[in-house]
Amino acid sequence: MSAPSRMGPSVSMDCAVDLETRHLFPTYAKTPLRVVGGDGCRLYDDGGRVYLDMLGGIAVNALGHAHPRIVAALREAAAEERILLHSSNLYHHPYQGPLAARLATHIGLSRVFFCNSGSEAVEAALKLARARARRVKHLRDFETPEIVALHGSFHGRTAFALSCTGQKSYRAPFAPLVPGVKFVAPDDPEGLVRAVGQRTAAVILEPVQGEGGVRPIAPDFVRAARALCDNAGALLIADEVQCGLGRTGAWSACRQAGAAPDLVTLAKPLAAGLPLGALLGRDELAQNLGPGSHGSTFGGGPLPCRLALAFLDAVEQEGLLAAAETRGRRLMTGLRALAKDGGPIEEVRGRGLMIGVVLRGKASEMTDALLERGIVAGTAGERVLRLLPPFVITDGEIDRFLDVFASVLAATGRAGGAP
Ligand SMILES: *Cc1c(COP(=O)(O)O)cnc(C)c1O
């Protein structure tokens, strides 16, 4: 097939897939699902088949697809004759300030830096922590301000964020990475005590680990990290790119665990599908990211900020924090009822609508079996089925998922192995 001279929707899906195979770096092992549209918790493929979306674009589509408020915000913007898609961060525009103020209220931290992704938000947090430690701890040039991170964590793919990601297979090909990172097991509070010291600039943790297997960190551990940071004059960074902004039933999963972080990173659901990341921090930390110290060309552009304001409207006015909590409980209870001694389910864990089902077999075989039956779900590692459905999922949709999942489990039992 020759490459068409004009790209766009006029290209057949077969052709689009073929072009991907030939021209994209093969970074993703893609599922052969061709998505062309969605509404609510439903996705549509190019043949018109409907799927129940239990993955929400990896926690991005918290409002599902084509949410009326998001569609209205897009329409309103697109209808403006003098629509401003970019103004650069050298100038003011009408949407960054209001968005920053509302995020500040919800997260309880008053300063915001906008960027485009989770990795960039983490990168900004780590840079801030290092610059601050260098300054307030009077470190000499050859002394490294240290970061303490957790085994099993995921903080992103850029160099500093990757250096703090507690999964060797992600880091190994790119060594040497940023020095001065120590890893501690999330179930080893004594290890944490040993790791945090006077050279520590920050402890970074996901209150609920996502990519590493949907693993909630014990609130005691999070609070211990807070206390150790206070003693060592270090910052507590909560990476809430996946678990924040309502996913666990709270604006901040770290606060929900009973600890007030110094820095919080946000991204995935923030602009309802457009790229937008944010670092939030205490007011006193403002001087550590002074003029010229850090920046982003696209970060906090007018359109992503408008959509983020609409996302916050929806979460606030449609009671979606409570919804994530109660719908999460319904899903979790239903899943736990399917876990039997010696059955295919080893454990069900998570918080709110962030749920991992640890299987005895391969999670990818489960997602394949679910997809055949019209359900999109994800994996986190070899054996964890990952569920991150939109907050707008209905009770009926949860029950339908549970029915289909039960039938796949029953088939697994009969076959004595893979579904
Ligand atoms: C997804 C994720 C990131 C990275 O976000 P990108 O937008 O892919 O750069 C960082 N931290 C956590 C906890 C994440 O889940």
Q: Tell which one of 211, 215, 241 to mutate to probe ligand 1, the residue whose CB is within 8 A of the most ligand atoms.
A: 241
**Whether the bond into 176 is cis, omega within 30 of 0:** yes
pLDDT in tens, 108-149: 999 999 999 999 999 999 999 999 999 999 988 889 999 999
- Which atom of ligand 1 is the closest one to the Cα of 156? 4
The answer to whether 388 touches 41, Cβ cutoff 8 Å, is no
Residue 152 CA to ligand 1 centre (angstroms): 14
**pLDDT at residue 10, rounded to an integer:** 73
Give 116 Cα–ligand 1 centroid separation in angstroms.
11
Q: Are 348 and 331 in contact (CB under 8 A)?
A: no
Distances (CA, A) of 37 to 13, 67, 73, 135: 13, 12, 18, 50
CA distance 17 to 25: 13
- Considering the four listed CATH numbers 3.40.50.12280, 3.40.640.10, 3.30.470.20, 3.50.50.60, the one that applies to the domain covering 84-317 is 3.40.640.10
Strand partners, 387: 355
Q: What is the Cα–Cα distance from 99 to 126, expressed in whole angstroms?
A: 23
362: how many CB neighbours lie within 10 A of its CB?
16
Q: Note the pLDDT tens digit of each residue in 65-96.
A: 999 999 999 999 999 999 999 999 999 999 99
What are the start and end residues of each CATH 3.90.1150.10 domain in the chain? Answer: 14-67+319-415
Q: What ligand 1 atom has the least distance to the C-alpha of 120?
A: 9
**Closest-lying ligand 1 atom to the alpha carbon of residue 158:** 9
Write the residue with the smallest CA distance to atom 6 of ligand 1: 118
For residue 1, pLDDT over 70 is answered with no
Reported as a single tens digit per residue, the pLDDT across 268-280 is 999 999 999 999 9
The rounded percent of the chain whose pLDDT value lies above 70 is 96
Angle at which helices 320-338 and 395-415 cross, to 10°: 20
Instruction: Compute the average pLDDT of residues 257-261.
Output: 98
**Which residues surround ligand 1 with Cβ inside 6 Å?**
117-119, 122, 154-156, 206, 210-211, 239, 241-242, 267-268
Ligand 1: nearest atom to the Cα of 209: 13
Which pLDDT band, with edges at 50, 70 and 90, does 414 fall under?
Answer: low
> For a substitution probing ligand 1, which of 60, 117, 209 has the most ligand atoms within 8 Å of its CB?
117
For atom 8 of ligand 1, the residue with the nearest CA is 118
Torsion angles phi and psi, residue 199, rounded to 5? -85, -5
* Residue 277 CB neighbours (<10 A): 28
Six-digit token string for 96: 């960054």
- Residue 23, classed as helix, strand or coil, is helix
The DSSP code sequence of 353-410 is TEEEEEESS-HHHHHHHHHHTTEE-EESSSSEEEE---TT--HHHHHHHHHHHHHHHH
Q: How many CB atoms lie within 10 A of CB 172?
A: 9
Q: Best substitution site from 58, 242, 296 to test ligand 1's pocket, by max atoms within 8 Å of Cβ?
A: 242
pLDDT-derived band at 395, boundaries 50, 70, 90: very high
Identify the residue whose tokens are 């990519």.
Answer: 211
The token duo for 232 is 């060592």
Substitution candidate for ligand 1 out of 240, 268, 274 with most atoms within 8 A of CB? 268
CA distance linking residue 56 with residue 40, whole number of Å: 10
CB burial string 100-136: b at 16+ within 10 A, e below:
bebbbebbbbbbbbbbbbbbbbbbbbbbbbbbbbbee
User: And the tokens for 391?
Assistant: 């907050």
Relative to the CA of 267, which ligand 1 atom is closest? 7
* CA 47 to centroid of ligand 1, rounded, Å: 32
269: CA distance to ligand 1 center in Å? Answer: 11
* Top-tier CATH class for 14-67+319-415: alpha beta
Domain(s) of CATH 3.40.640.10: residues in the chain: 84-317
pLDDT for residue 6 is more than 60:
no
